[in-house]
């Protein structure tokens, strides 16, 4: 198999275009091909175009590229990556497919079309090129009939989920003839280069996630008709209360599109033999009726829900399947749902809901029971292991727990007994497993997980580059710890500082641990990684504490807190051992300042990164403003060069509280450096950050604190303030925004000094602190903080 540098994606629809963008994000050059249009659009006709002009012939793929740039959420990490995709068509560019290292077929889900295309590909295919199909359920073996022996070894299914950038699962489906080196090579590419979670699936209808997921949705619909449950009832039970996404059953169906869902369900219906299973996949008449009416879900404006506009704003109506009318969504009240809501973790929620005694607990059992039984019946027909089934459901449907994990959570033996008492027959292997005294499908011993496999527990192998802080802590590798953070030995003589305060917000306990970590690393380690396994890396400093002190007008205390923050950041900068920060997902305010104090940032690609202090009426004062001024100065290579343009950019980024939509975008905003690194696979994140520490140490890193900063001075400040004034006069910003911007301009320019003055880091930190303190005294700033704490959203005042 060739090293993947270039790829061709055929079919530029929803999936093909999304996959092309994902590959482009990973630095792979892509040719995106679609059919040649058979007629001109009215615009093309008006412009006097003809069907043989290249831009007309490439129109489908070119339009897909334009659509990608407008799609929300964004398929590209950075819009400029669109340049890595060359649009074309399957007639003029077909011979070029031979040059691609990987060809991905993502055309319409029709076996005859796919086979015809594969026959054509075989004619231009060169050995070593991998060919994969993105089919959602067509047999790989049936497609492979179209091609000859050598290419069959390089052909397999790579089933991405929609949208490809954001959905972590890829099912890898080897055909009968696929060589094992192609399977392992593609697993490597999908996991390492594209950051995906791979599950190897057997070549059965709809593979793993869509087989179980579709089954679950269909039984739910049938139970709803049978028992007269409402759309709201079902969604209240099948969402977070069962560890599933908020979109639950019906918003998920509306999002997927009912026509697509019917198509996917029919595929299983047509390809399974067992009459009972066939029956389960028969689409209920109500759904067929909805498709006939064109009520396809979100894309057609109505499905199980419908959004209407009223004088009071928009309202969501839910479908009454008895009358086929829409009515205002009712609220669902239930003690067992309340118990699930207040229970901790997905397992706790499932337990709480299932052990309740009301209608909703009963409903949850009715919905869940067939899915657990079906998963247990099908597991080894569709997947290699039960753990693969669970992983596919977690990554492909965003369930927090897969079916076997849920079964463990609610108690394997007692729920199996309940099923039998209700007249169900357990799969033979489950019955025997329980009969031999086992109480769960998984077990944990120290930091190792085992799962059931053909009548015994087998160890789940963890690759050596998947470092888990949780497992390391369980193995006693904590060096020092307090309520907000822990320092953990992560091997290779590297220590990791992990935040674990609520929301990973920074308060005094974390700052104390930063100081202690620096001391410990200085004496005993090669370097420090700052990372954690929370949902987000860090949402900033603890606003609540700050607001309380500000409301009490305890200015000395506010001053002390900021100094403590600033000093902790300096401690990191002055550390003569390498420090690598590894942010992921939301990384805001103080979280960014911690990263800026490190020698290098090794960011997860999905990092949403910004100095958002202005949103709460403040400016960054933990070194963030200083770092932005310093980086702006560093970016101007000419010693006599003008700092103003770089400074304006920093002013805009902080002043408008911009948050990047990815790590590469953070570089574009000047919040990360181009020398910082990016990792696409979250499971490898810590390993890569540790590697960065080791490499920096080998290269002889020296502490980078204490460097004087060349500032642009008073004229630059006036220019920035004028810019803000124009925005104020244009009505784009409020007077309070202007006040904040004005203080920010003062700090970034170094204050009232001549252009080119060299100032110390401490001087800039003092400016930051003074500005911050004075803003804390503003009632409008305090109102912003209060609003953020109460609603999680910024207040414009």
Q: Which residues bind ligand NAD (CB under 6 A)?
A: 10-16, 34-35, 60, 90, 106-109, 113, 117, 134-136, 160, 162
**Minimum distance from CB of 411 to ligand NAD (Å)?**
35
Question: Quick check: helix, strand or coil at residue 307?
Answer: strand
Residue 241: CB atoms within 10 Å: 27
Looking at beta carbons only, is 34 or 737 nearer to ligand NAD? 34
**Minimum distance from CB of 120 to ligand NAD (Å)?**
9
Q: What is the DSSP letter of 755?
A: T
Q: CA–CA separation, 669 vs 650, rounded Å?
A: 8
Residues 6+ apart with CB under 8 A from 789: 543, 544, 547
Alpha helices in 34-73 (DSSP H): 42-46, 54-57, 59-70
Looking at beta carbons only, is 151 or 740 nearer to ligand NAD? 151
Residue 475 exposure: Cα atoms within 13 Å on the Cβ side = 13
Pairing of strands 607-610, 585-588: parallel
**Minimum distance from CB of 197 to ligand NAD (Å)?**
15
For residue 147, the Cα-to-chain-centroid distance in whole angstroms is 37
Looking at beta carbons only, is 12 or 501 nearer to ligand NAD? 12
Looking at beta carbons only, is 34 or 613 nearer to ligand NAD? 34
Residue 576 exposure: Cα atoms within 13 Å on the Cβ side = 3
Looking at beta carbons only, is 261 or 365 nearer to ligand NAD? 261
Question: Quick check: helix, strand or coil at residue 259?
Answer: helix
**Minimum distance from CB of 32 to ligand NAD (Å)?**
10
DSSP-assigned states of every residue in 464-490: TT---HHHHHHTT-EEEE-SSEEEEE-
Question: Whose CA is closest to 530, among 584, 480, 461, 493?
Answer: 584
**Minimum distance from CB of 385 to ligand NAD (Å)?**
23
Residues 6+ apart with CB under 8 A from 99: 6
Looking at beta carbons only, is 35 or 418 nearer to ligand NAD? 35
Q: Tokens 């932005």 identify what position?
A: 628
**Minimum distance from CB of 270 to ligand NAD (Å)?**
14
Looking at beta carbons only, is 117 or 467 nearer to ligand NAD? 117
Looking at beta carbons only, is 59 or 631 nearer to ligand NAD? 59
Looking at beta carbons only, is 106 or 530 nearer to ligand NAD? 106
Looking at beta carbons only, is 243 or 257 nearer to ligand NAD? 257
**Minimum distance from CB of 604 to ligand NAD (Å)?**
24
Residue nearest to ligand NAD (CB): 13
E strand intervals along 52-110: 85-89, 102-105
**Minimum distance from CB of 88 to ligand NAD (Å)?**
10
**Minimum distance from CB of 266 to ligand NAD (Å)?**
12
**Minimum distance from CB of 105 to ligand NAD (Å)?**
8
Looking at beta carbons only, is 250 or 326 nearer to ligand NAD? 250
Q: Do residues 701 and 536 make contact, with C-beta atoms less than 8 angstroms apart?
A: no
Q: CA–CA separation, 491 vs 496, rounded Å?
A: 9
- Please tell me whether the peptide bond between 230 and the residue prior to it is cis, using omega within 30 degrees of 0: no
**Minimum distance from CB of 34 to ligand NAD (Å)?**
4
- Please tell me whether the peptide bond between 163 and the residue prior to it is cis, using omega within 30 degrees of 0: yes
Residue 184: CB atoms within 10 Å: 13
**Minimum distance from CB of 109 to ligand NAD (Å)?**
3
Looking at beta carbons only, is 15 or 550 nearer to ligand NAD? 15
CA distances from residue 165 to 68, 197, 591 in whole angstroms, order as listed: 12, 12, 25
Looking at beta carbons only, is 109 or 768 nearer to ligand NAD? 109
Q: Do residues 157 and 203 make contact, with C-beta atoms less than 8 angstroms apart?
A: yes
**Minimum distance from CB of 559 to ligand NAD (Å)?**
55
**Minimum distance from CB of 135 to ligand NAD (Å)?**
4
Q: Do residues 710 and 626 make contact, with C-beta atoms less than 8 angstroms apart?
A: no
Alpha helices in 575-638 (DSSP H): 590-596, 624-634
Question: Whose CA is closest to 155, among 175, 137, 136, 138?
Answer: 175
Looking at beta carbons only, is 119 or 320 nearer to ligand NAD? 119
Q: CA–CA separation, 171 vs 398, rounded Å?
A: 15
H helix or E strand, kind and range, residue 555: helix 555-574
End-to-end alpha-carbon separation of the chain, Å?
59
């Amino acid at each position: 198999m060739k090293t993947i540098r270039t790829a061709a994606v055929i079919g530029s629809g929803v999936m093909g275009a999304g996959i092309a963008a994902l590959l482009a994000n990973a630095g792979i050059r892509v040719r995106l091909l679609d059919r040649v249009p058979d007629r001109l659009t009215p615009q093309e006709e008006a412009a006097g175009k003809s069907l043989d002009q290249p831009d007309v012939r490439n129109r489908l793929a070119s339009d897909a590229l334009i659509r990608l740039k407008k799609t929300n959420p964004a398929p590209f990490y950075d819009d400029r990556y669109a340049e890595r995709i060359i649009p074309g068509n399957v007639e003029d560019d077909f011979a070029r497919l031979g040059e691609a290292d990987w060809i991905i077929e993502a055309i319409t889900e029709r076996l005859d079309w796919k086979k015809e295309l594969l026959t054509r590909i075989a004619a231009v295919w060169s050995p070593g090129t991998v060919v994969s199909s993105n089919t959602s359920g067509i047999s790989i073996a049936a497609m492979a009939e179209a091609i000859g022996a050598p290419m069959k070894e390089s052909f397999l299914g790579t089933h991405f989920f929609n949208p490809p950038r954001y959905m972590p699962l890829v099912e890898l489906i080897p055909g009968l003839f696929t060589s094992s080196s192609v399977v392992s090579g593609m697993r490597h590419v999908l996991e390492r280069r594209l950051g995906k979670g791979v599950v190897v699936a057997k070549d059965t209808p709809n593979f793993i996630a869509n087989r179980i997921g579709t089954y679950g949705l269909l039984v739910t619909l049938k139970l709803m008709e049978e028992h007269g449950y409402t759309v709201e009832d079902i969604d209240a039970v099948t969402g977070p209360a069962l560890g599933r996404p908020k979109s639950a059953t019906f918003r998920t169906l509306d999002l997927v599109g009912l026509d697509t869902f019917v198509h996917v369900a029919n595929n299983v219906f047509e390809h399974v033999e067992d009459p009972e299973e066939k029956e389960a996949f028969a689409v209920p008449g109500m759904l067929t009726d909805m498709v006939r009416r064109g009520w396809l879900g979100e894309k057609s404006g109505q499905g199980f829900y419908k959004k209407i506009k009223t004088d009071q704003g928009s309202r969501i109506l839910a479908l009454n399947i008895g009358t086929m009318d829409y009515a205002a969504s009712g609220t669902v009240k239930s003690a067992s749902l309340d118990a699930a809501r207040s229970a901790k973790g997905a397992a706790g929620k499932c337990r709480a809901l299932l052990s309740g005694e009301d209608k909703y607990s009963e409903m949850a059992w009715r919905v869940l029971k067939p899915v657990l039984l079906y998963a247990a019946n099908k597991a080894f027909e569709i997947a290699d292991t039960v753990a693969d089934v669970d992983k596919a459901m977690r990554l492909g449907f965003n369930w927090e727990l897969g079916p076997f994990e849920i079964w463990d959570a609610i108690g394997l033996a007692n729920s199996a007994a309940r099923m039998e008492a209700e007249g169900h027959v357990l799969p033979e292997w489950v019955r025997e497993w329980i009969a031999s005294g086992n109480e769960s499908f998984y077990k944990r011993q120290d930091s190792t997980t085992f799962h059931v496999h053909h009548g015994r527990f087998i160890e789940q192998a963890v690759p050596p580059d998947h470092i888990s802080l949780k497992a390391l802590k369980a193995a006693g590798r904590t060096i020092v710890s307090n309520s907000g953070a822990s320092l953990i030995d992560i091997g290779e003589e590297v220590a990791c500082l992990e935040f674990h305060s609520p929301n990973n917000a920074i308060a005094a306990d974390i700052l104390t641990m930063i100081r202690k970590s620096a001391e410990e690393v200085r004496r005993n380690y090669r370097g420090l990684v700052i990372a954690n396994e929370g949902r987000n890396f860090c949402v900033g400093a603890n606003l609540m504490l700050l607001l309380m002190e500000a409301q009490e007008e305890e200015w000395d205390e506010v001053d002390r807190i900021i100094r403590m923050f600033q000093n902790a950041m300096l401690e990191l900068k002055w550390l003569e051992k390498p420090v690598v920060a590894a942010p992921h997902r939301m990384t805001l305010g103080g979280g960014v300042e911690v990263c800026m104090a490190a020698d290098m940032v090794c960011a997860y690609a999905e990092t949403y990164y910004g100095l958002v202090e202005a949103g709460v009426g403040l400016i960054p004062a933990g070194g963030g403003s200083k770092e932005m001024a310093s980086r702006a100065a560093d970016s101007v290579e000419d010693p006599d060069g003008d700092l103003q343009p770089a400074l304006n950019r920093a002013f805009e980024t902080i002043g408008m509280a911009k948050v990047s939509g990815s790590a590469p975008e953070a570089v574009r905003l000047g919040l990360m450096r181009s020398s910082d690194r990016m990792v696409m696979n979250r499971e490898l994140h810590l390993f890569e950050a540790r590697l960065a520490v080791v490499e920096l140490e080998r290269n002889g890193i020296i502490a980078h604190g204490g460097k004087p900063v060349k500032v642009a001075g008073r004229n630059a400040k006036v220019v920035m303030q004028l810019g803000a004034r124009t925005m104020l006069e244009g009505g784009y910003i409020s007077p309070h925004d202007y006040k904040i911007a004005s203080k920010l301009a003062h700090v970034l320019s170094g204050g009232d000094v001549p252009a080119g003055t060299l100032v110390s880091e401490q001087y800039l930190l003092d400016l930051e602190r003074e500005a911050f303190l004075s803003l804390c005294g503003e009632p409008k700033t305090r109102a912003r903080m209060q609003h953020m704490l109460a609603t999680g959203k910024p207040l414009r005042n």
